[in-house]
Amino acid sequence: MAWTYCSKETVAAIARVDADILRDEWSDQVESLIADYEGFATIGSTTIITEEAHDGNGSNRIFVKKPPIVSVTSVQIGSISPTTLSSTAYKVYDQYVQLVNSSTTNIDSTRNAFPVGTQNVLITYVSGLAVVPSRIELCAAVMIGEIAKVYRTGGSDNSLKYRGQAATQGERTSVAADKGLLATLKSHMKNTLRHRVHGLG
């Protein structure tokens, strides 16, 4: 949904453009780019993921499919009659659940490991970032502002196309870098957004 990461007023103030020219599709495009870059399915709200199935891999970690994890409701092990683990048996991180105090064993009898198997680990959790972090809000506003500036000057439509920039040195000519709107937006993400993994409890 457009304007989840930042408001039109914020973009107008940062980019010094008229809020009336800002289009919903620009916000949608930028939010999609940021979500892909961050690897998060939901930013600005949360959603419940029920019994997401994973293959046990013999290690003590299972990475969820839709990070970040806000909280874990249950971790179950077993294909036919799953056993629910105590909440003290695992630790929750942004992107994965780690066994820390469990009697669950793998085929090598190693403690604190998810047993090897197919779709034998079920995780129910809350995913998403309920509040948009300020770094994402700023990045989105700057990126939408860049699109607005290109649109306002008539240099491009609102598509995210970019082109190669040729550089000549002596007798050789080569494509030195990708330039244009998409390259600019990617540069803003790289410089503003930082990936983090931290314990949640």
Tokens of 166: 């040729």
Looking at the predicted structure, is the pLDDT value of residue 106 above 80? Answer: no
Residue 155: predicted pLDDT:
57
Q: What is the pLDDT of residue 170?
A: 58
Distances (CA, A) of 5 to 28, 72, 92, 96, 172: 10, 25, 25, 24, 44
Quick one: which of 66, 30, 63, 67 has its CA closest to 192?
A: 30
Task: Give pLDDT tens digits for 136-146.
Answer: 999 999 999 99
What is the mean predicted confidence (pLDDT) over 99-116? 74
Whole-angstrom distance, CA of residue 160 vs CA of residue 185: 9
Pairing of strands 96-99, 172-180: unpaired
Residue 163: predicted pLDDT? 44
User: Where do the domains of the chain lie?
Assistant: 8-43+131-192, 49-128
Among the ranges given (67-71, 123-127, 164-168, 177-181), the one the predictor scored with the smallest mean pLDDT? 164-168
Q: Which of 88-102, 141-155, 156-170 has the highest mean pLDDT?
A: 88-102
User: What's the token pair of residue 80?
Assistant: 């036919």
Residue 150 in contact with residue 162, Cβ under 8 Å? Answer: no
Residue 176's pLDDT band (cuts 50, 70, 90): very low
Residues 6+ apart with CB under 8 A from 27: 2, 3, 4, 5, 6, 140, 144
State the virtual CA torsion across 143, 145, 150, 154 in degrees, nearest 10: 150
| Unique residue bearing structure tokens 């994973």 | 54
Show Cβ contacts of residue 20 under 8 Å, excluding neighbours closer than 6 positions: none
Is the pLDDT at 164 greater than 50? The verdict is no
Contacts of 24 (CB under 8 A, 6+ apart): 2, 3
Top pLDDT among 182 and 24 is at 24
DSSP type of residue 157: -
The residue with greater pLDDT, 154 or 80, is 80
Angstrom CA distances, 9 to 20, 33, 139, 158, 192, stand at 10, 21, 14, 19, 20
Whether this prediction's pTM lies above 0.85 is answered by no
Report residue 90 as tokens: 């695992």
Query: What average pLDDT score do residues 157-171 get?
Result: 50
